[in-house]
């Protein structure tokens, strides 16, 4: 007779383990870098799941399809990378608004852990056929930001921050063009010193207080 030397515990069928948990914000941050570097069209599902460290099934179960993932990434981008833009609107004068925006843009571009340029600019000017909804989504978010900036400059005009000969809309769009220019210059290889020179020169000619 053969003795059963397996203990009752060892003889049980082992229950399948739970799926390994993951941190959604960490996964979204990894996806953000992929979208930022490659654009929406260039970010394949394979590249995304490899960077996020999850399976295709987990991606769809946790984040939805690629478009839904991108929208969640944009939310994270605005919370973590573009928060300085909303902080700028709280500055007491138009010049301080401009300075905060310019310096915040430079800080974002000189952070070595961050891809250069802007996710908003990348996805508003570069997209593949069939991705028009993504371009419109990003553009709409940009329009919201420009409206908030214009609203702040209209307030600055009423408070006498700059001479009445200057149009609030024109100044707001001038500042937007300057910050966009910094982002493009950084993505083209401009150094931190060069970006700071651009900001300093811009502030020297700023008409407001």
Q: Distance from CA of residue 60 to its chain's centroid?
A: 22
Report the C-alpha gap between 202 and 177 in whole angstroms: 11
- Ramachandran angles phi, psi of 46, nearest 5°: -60, -45
Residue 96 has pLDDT above 70, yes or no: yes
Cα–Cα nearest to 116, from 124, 125, 107? 107
d(CA 29, CA 63): 13
pLDDT tops 70 at residue 103 = yes
> Rounded CA gap, 115 and 109, in Å?
8
* Triad 201, 103, 40: Cα angle to 5°: 115
123-168: pLDDT as tens digits: 666 656 667 888 888 888 888 999 999 999 999 999 999 999 999 9
Contact 104, 89 (CB under 8 A): no
- CATH of segment(s) 20-75: 1.10.10.60
Nearest Cα to Cα of residue 162 among 93, 86, 102:
93
Most confident range, picked from 10-24, 46-60, 118-132, 184-198: 46-60
pLDDT > 90 in the chain, percent: 56
Q: Which of 11-25, 76-90, 192-206 has the highest mean pLDDT?
A: 192-206
Write the class of the CATH domain 81-209: mainly alpha
**Torsion of Cα atoms, 64 then 69 then 71 then 74, to 10°:** 160
pLDDT of residue 112: 63
Whether 166 and 175 have beta carbons less than 8 Å apart is answered as no
Least confident of 13-17, 75-79, 143-147: 13-17
Give the relative orientation of helices 56-63 and 45-52 as an angle to the nearest 10 degrees: 90
Give 163-183 pLDDT, tens digit per residue.
999 999 999 999 999 998 998
More confident residue, 41 or 126: 41
């Amino acid at each position: 007779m053969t003795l059963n030397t397996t203990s009752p515990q060892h003889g049980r069928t082992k229950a399948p383990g739970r799926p390994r948990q993951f941190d959604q914000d960490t996964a979204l941050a990894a996806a953000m870098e992929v979208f930022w570097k490659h654009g929406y069209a260039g970010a394949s599902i394979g590249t995304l799941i490899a960077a996020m460290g999850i399976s295709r099934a987990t991606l769809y179960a946790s984040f939805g399809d690629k478009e839904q993932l991108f929208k969640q990434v944009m939310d994270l981008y605005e919370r973590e990378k573009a928060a300085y833009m909303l902080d700028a609107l709280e500055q007491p004068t138009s010049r301080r608004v401009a300075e905060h925006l310019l310096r915040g843009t430079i800080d974002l571009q000189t952070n070595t852990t961050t891809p250069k340029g802007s996710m908003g600019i990348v996805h508003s000017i570069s997209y593949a056929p069939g991705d028009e909804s993504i371009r419109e989504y990003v553009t709409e978010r940009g329009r919201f930001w420009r409206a908030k900036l214009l609203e702040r400059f209209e307030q600055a005009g009423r408070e006498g921050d700059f001479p009445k000969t200057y149009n609030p809309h024109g100044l707001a769009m001038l500042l937007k063009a300057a910050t966009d220019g910094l982002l493009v210059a950084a993505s083209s290889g401009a150094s931190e010193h060069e970006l700071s020179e651009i900001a300093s020169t811009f502030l020297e000619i700023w008409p407001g207080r």
